[in-house]
Amino acid sequence: MKKFEPIFTEEERKKLTRKNKAKIRKCLENVDPELIKLHEKTIEDAASYATCLEEINRQIERDGYVDEYQNGENQWGVKKSVAAELKPKYSQIYQGLIKQLKELLPSEGEKDAAAEIMEFLNAGR
């Protein structure tokens, strides 16, 4: 049996999570800052799951979808890898978090109304 080798160091994982958090925040730049504060934990969780999914995908690319195992002298075989088992669960959680954050975005009608208000306010200057 081979020894597990992580894909990212702890520092790399933290850096990628910060990068993912920045990407998410950029997508939410038109959202009320008070709503952002209320959903800070959701943003952090989404960034963390994005990092985990990246690591899982790279691990599957490196190691494949199956692991070999041996129980005792004569019992051995293959089974689905831990990464392959985690991927659908993590994907589902990540998609749910992104859906929650997406609901914070103003609808097209709200965007148009906000643009009209800003245009009106700027026209008076």
Rounded mean pLDDT, 15-44: 95
Rounded mean pLDDT, 63-75: 89
Q: What predicted TM-score, i.e. pTM, was given to this entire model?
A: 0.80
44 touches 20 (CB < 8 A): no
Domain ranges across the chain: 10-123
39 touches 101 (CB < 8 A): yes
Per-residue pLDDT band at 118 (split at 50, 70, 90): low
Rounded mean pLDDT, 10-14: 98
pLDDT at 98 over 80: yes
Per-residue tokens: 46: 């989404």
Long-range contacts of 39-48 (CB under 8 A, 24+ apart): 39/100, 39/101, 39/104, 42/97, 42/100, 42/101, 43/101, 45/97, 46/20, 46/94, 46/97, 46/98, 46/101, 47/17, 47/18, 47/20, 47/21, 47/23, 48/17, 48/20
Could you give the CA distance from residue 86 to residue 70 in angstroms, rounded to a whole number? 22
